[in-house]
Structure formats: C-alpha cells, structure tokens
Structure 1
Amino acid sequence: MKKILILLCLVNTLVISFGQKVRIETLLEDDVSIRALEIWEGKVWYTGTASKFGYVDIANPAERKQIKVAPTDLQFRTLSQNHAAFYTINIESPAHIFRINKKDLTITSGVTDAAATAFYDALHYSDGYFYTFSDPAEDLVLQWSRFKDADFPELKPLAPALQMKKGEAAFAASNSNIASAGDYVWLATGGVVSRIFRYHKKTGATQIFETPFVQGNSTQGMYAIDFYNAKKGI
C-alpha cells in the first residue's frame, strides 16, 4: 500500500500594501486518510481510517500524538467537540459513537446503530447538542438525530415523520453538510436529490427547501454547507 500523503495546510496570510502572501506547510505525513478536522488549543485534531485519532501542534508540528479509537480498523469521517470531549462516529454498519475525553484522551463507546444502511457522514455541535446524519434505510425515513453530552449515548431523531427521496443522501459530505447559526441547524443533502432541511432549535419545527443545484445521480448535489448568520449562508 502506497503511503498516503496527508497535507494539512497551515495558511499564514500576511497583508501587505500590494497583496497577500500565503505559506503552505506539511504538518503530517502518515498512512491515513483524514476526512474530519477540529482545532483546539493550537492543535489540529483529526479522525481517519484505521481507527486513527490524534493531533498535530500548529506552531510545532513535531509535537504530535496518535491513538486508536477502536481495536478494529474502523473508518471515520466525523469529528466534533464541546468543552469537555471530542466525539466521532464511524461510517460503516454497525456504527458506534465514541467520546474522547480532552483531559486524558480516555475513550468511551456509546450507542450503536446496527442498521445495514447506517453511514454517518457528519457530526456538528451547537448550543449543548451534537447533531448527526446517516443515510436512510429502505423506508427513507430521515435519519437526522441529536444527543447531549449528559445524555450520551442516547440518540434522538429530530424529525421522525419526514422522509427523504429515493437516491437522496450525503454523497462525499465529509463532516461538512451540517451547519448552524442563531436558532437554526441546517442539513444539506446530495445525490439524486439535493435539498436543504432547516431545524428550529427552540420549536423543533423542520422545513424543507428545494434547491437549484445540479442533481440527478449519486455523485451530484451539495457536498458542504456553512452559514454566516441565520439568514446568510453558502
């Protein structure tokens, strides 16, 4: 197996009178495919293939640590954090939620989703809750859920009455298709159908919006979403 070069970009933008200067440096080179990143205490934290979780110090890349979240080689595309811990969910079935304590990096395994179609693409933290999304089962019920750190490992569906359309999922959305701002949390879907689901954190109401994005096959539609405020997003 060829070594996979992981290039984490440290971008230093120096504003000068005639433009900008960008410097790109390699922080980590390892046999791992990394699909999810978080920043905390001046370090880039990551999850990836082979159950690998770790960090690299931005200012001093030689300072680094890597551990295995599970004894088996699971694949991870999700990572999120609150003040106390990191959370991640592996993509394959059965899918497990893992909690990594920030103080000592001890690992706790929580709820397991044993559905054959379980495939967790994103995990997002906002106002005390972690929001996550999995591809739907044959009944096409929306698998958009949340949990609290205190409730771990209970996973609560946000809109169990809503259904997705056939072929609608989250193609290539590596921890990038859930965003939040103000009272709302947004979910972007892709594939044969690409829509926006908007959840109101206070009322629990969920709205669905059609989009003009190119869609129609499994490799099309939206891959990522982010919001500046409750009204403006990309």
Structure 2
Amino acid sequence: MKKSLLLLLLAGAMFSCKKEEAKKDYKPSFTAVEADTLVSEEISIRAITIDGDKAWYAGSMGKYGWVSLSGGKNFSGVIAKDTIFPEFRAIAQTKNDIFILNAGTPAMLYKISKDGKNSKEVYSETGEKVFYDSMQFYNDKEGIAMGDPTEDCLSVIITSDGGNAWKKMPCTGLPKVAEGEAAFAASNTNLIVKGNSTWIVSGGKKSRVFYSADKGKSWKVYDTPIVQGGAADGIYSADLYDENIGFAVGGNYEKAESNKSNKILTTDGGKTWDKAADGQAFGYASCVQFVPGSNGNELMTAGPSGIWYSFDRGTTWKKILDENIYHTIRFADNKTVILAGQKKVVRLKLK
C-alpha cells in the first residue's frame, strides 16, 4: 500500500473569521497525517459505512464491496438489472446486512448479507422524478431513506422489519417542499439519525432542515442562511455531533471556488444556524463529519479543494490533504479516517 506523510503546520496561519467561538481554548487533537490507499480501480464512490474492521462502499457501475482495515481479505461485487448498472449513492447497515440504494430511476434498493454471499432487491420505484439521495437505520429493525420530490414533498421510504420491506410515506404526513427544492446525492450525508431523531437537509432554490423527533411520524422545518436560490445551491452535507451541535456544508458545485455562505453551525439541534468562516477557507464541499470524541469541536470536510480540518467548530480551517478527488468521509475511530471518491478509497491515520 502506498503511503505518504503530511505534516500539519497547525501553529501557522489559519483561515478565520471573527466570532466569539474562536476565543475558546480549542486545541487540535493531531499534528500529522499518514495516508495509505486501500482501493484503486475504475469507480466513483459517494457512499461508505464502517462495519468493525471493514469499510463497505457502493459506487458507480453497480460496484460495491468492502476493504479490510486490519489486513484481512477484501471483497467486491457487481449488481446489474437487465442492462442497467446502478449508480449507488447511499449505503446503510444493520447487524447482519448492508443496504445500498441507487440514484435515478428506476430506484433499486438491495439487501446484501455481510459475508457478501447473498443479495436481494427489497424495494424498487420508477418515475421520471425518482431520485434517492441518502439512507440510514435507527436500529436493526427500523430504517429510512430520502430522495427528491416526486409530488409536493420529499420522497421518504421506511422499513420496520430490518429492511426486508419498504413503504413510501404519503405526502399527507410530510412537509411540503418549496418550488425548486430538492436534495443532493453527494455523500450519503443529507439524512442524519440519532436515537429517535431525524434530520434531512435540502438544497436548490430553497435549502432547509426537516426535523423529526419521532422517527418520521411528525416533522418541523427550519430555514438556514446557506447560499440558496439556484438549482445547484444549498446544503450538500450535514452532520450532528449530538442532539444539539451540528454543522452543514455545501455551496454550488458549479461555482466550486465560492466560499461565501457555504458553511453553517447549529447549537440547538438545527432550529437556528449561523454562518461559519464566511468568505474563508474552502468553497463547495460535498461532505462534513465531526471527529468522534471531540465534544463537537473538530470537523473534517471533503470537496474539490481537498480535505480540510477545523478544531474550533468551523471558525478556522486548515487544508490537510490537497487531493481533490474525494467525495465522502467516515471515521473508523477518532484517529482513523476513510476517504472515498474517484477511483480511490484511502485511509488517513491522524497522529
């Protein structure tokens, strides 16, 4: 495996904005990064999940599989239906199974045994506007996936039997979307679940947060100050450290260098948001994740300007990896990061 060492000069100049948050005694938890390549092949990956010592992935051309994080065997598979090789953009798991869901029509949701031996289609949907973006499980029985509107609400499908059967929620039980409001299948991170709580972030002409405290039975909707108004504007990714502290990133992938109004922070569970590092650091980003065990202070993002890190809740940022090919991030632990994107899955060890 190819390795490289990148020193982080965190004591040097950092991108910053003037906020009270910056006055707190924040400290970075690492000073160097070691990177090694786990997968290198013709695939675009936007969906990964960590399962013990395995990092599962799903991507383009119907490809999916896992890479071992402990030196064990890897596995790869391909799903095709008739002449269709799905573009998988969402992945989730229960104790025994992995679930992958494609973007576009027909929507195809597959259940895969964790030994990789069995796969089964458990949900499908056709229609001109069908486009699913993200999927998560609350527990080993209950799961949820979301997608773009096919009527006047976001598409939401749920399962209560461990993913064997899924049903679409009617719009009568969901908030109405604004004209031109949808979502982005950028990194499987515009749907977040913690306990019974669910957050969905939208984008486009309107970019908001849809919140449910009861696994999708009832919803509230909150406005955000992120850039919005154009079809490619809005939130592309969000993460909640706990029920209160959250961060969202996005912008406009067609204006990838623009760093105005593309990073926002909440400390009240998504009800209100403040801009962070406005006009500073990176532009468009496709994924954001909190560093585990960081009290909600440390963040990492991926996008076309590279991998960026903040240790003060998004007030200041430092680029830690210059490669611009990564779409999504997951932490295996607080010192191990898995990156995936164009033709690569890479592990970062934080030292």
**TM bucket, shorter chain:** 0.7 to 0.9
Aligned counterpart for 1:43 among listed residues 48, 54, 64: 54
Describe how 1:148-187 pairs up with structure 2 within 5 A.
148-150=160-162, 152-157=164-169, 160-161=172-173, 162-187=175-200
What secondary structure sits across from 1:231 in the alignment? Answer: coil
In the alignment, the residues of structure 2 paired with residue 224 and residue 170 of structure 1 have an alpha-carbon distance, to the nearest angstrom, of 10
Contact 2:198 2:216 in 1 (8 A): no
* AA aligned opposite 2:210: F
Aligned counterpart for 1:70 among listed residues 61, 80, 97: 80
Q: 1:158 to 1:210 in 2, by over 3 A?
A: farther
1:25 aligns with 2:25: no
In the alignment, the residues of structure 2 paired with residue 188 and residue 173 of structure 1 have an alpha-carbon distance, to the nearest angstrom, of 12
Contact 2:142 2:162 in 1 (8 A): no
What secondary structure sits across from 2:41 in the alignment? Answer: coil
1:201 aligns with 2:214: yes
Q: 1:109 to 1:53 in 2, by over 3 A?
A: same
Higher normalized strand content (fraction of residues): 2
Contact 1:134 1:143 in 2 (8 A): yes
Contact 2:205 2:231 in 1 (8 A): yes
Unmatched runs of 5 consecutive residues or more in structure 2: 9-28, 248-351
Describe how 1:72-111 pairs up with structure 2 within 5 A.
72-111=84-123
* AA aligned opposite 1:184: S
Contact 1:179 1:185 in 2 (8 A): yes
Contact 2:90 2:100 in 1 (8 A): yes
In the alignment, the residues of structure 1 paired with residue 64 and residue 229 of structure 2 have an alpha-carbon distance, to the nearest angstrom, of 35
In the alignment, the residues of structure 1 paired with residue 125 and residue 66 of structure 2 have an alpha-carbon distance, to the nearest angstrom, of 27
What secondary structure sits across from 1:74 in the alignment? Answer: coil
Tell me by how many angstroms 1:144 deviates.
Answer: 2.1
In the alignment, the residues of structure 2 paired with residue 124 and residue 203 of structure 1 have an alpha-carbon distance, to the nearest angstrom, of 12
In the alignment, the residues of structure 2 paired with residue 215 and residue 166 of structure 1 have an alpha-carbon distance, to the nearest angstrom, of 12
Contact 1:36 1:174 in 2 (8 A): yes
In the alignment, the residues of structure 1 paired with residue 113 and residue 171 of structure 2 have an alpha-carbon distance, to the nearest angstrom, of 30
In the alignment, the residues of structure 2 paired with residue 89 and residue 215 of structure 1 have an alpha-carbon distance, to the nearest angstrom, of 27
Contact 1:145 1:158 in 2 (8 A): no
Residue of structure 2 in register with 1:3 after alignment? none
Q: What TM-score do you get using the length of structure 2 for normalisation? A: 0.58
What secondary structure sits across from 1:160 in the alignment? Answer: helix
Contact 2:154 2:182 in 1 (8 A): no
Aligned counterpart for 1:124 among listed residues 110, 131, 136: 136
Tell me by how many angstroms 1:73 deviates.
Answer: 1.2
Residue of structure 2 in register with 1:143 after alignment? 155
In the alignment, the residues of structure 2 paired with residue 81 and residue 113 of structure 1 have an alpha-carbon distance, to the nearest angstrom, of 21
Residue of structure 1 in register with 2:302 after alignment? none
Tell me by how many angstroms 1:47 deviates.
Answer: 0.4
Q: What TM-score do you get using the length of structure 1 for normalisation? A: 0.85
- Give the aligned length: 219
Identity across the alignment (%)? 27
If asked which structure has higher relative contact order (CA below 8 Å, sep 6+), I would say 2
In the alignment, the residues of structure 1 paired with residue 165 and residue 215 of structure 2 have an alpha-carbon distance, to the nearest angstrom, of 22
In the alignment, the residues of structure 2 paired with residue 158 and residue 130 of structure 1 have an alpha-carbon distance, to the nearest angstrom, of 16
In the alignment, the residues of structure 2 paired with residue 218 and residue 171 of structure 1 have an alpha-carbon distance, to the nearest angstrom, of 10
Residue of structure 2 in register with 1:4 after alignment? none
* AA aligned opposite 2:80: A
* AA aligned opposite 1:105: K
Tell me by how many angstroms 1:20 deviates.
Answer: 2.0
Q: Deviations over 1:146-193 (max 9, x none)?
A: 213446222241763421111111135321101122331000001111
* AA aligned opposite 1:198: Y
Tell me by how many angstroms 1:25 deviates.
Answer: 0.9
Q: Deviations over 1:59-87 (max 9, x none)?
A: 327x3211112343111100000101011
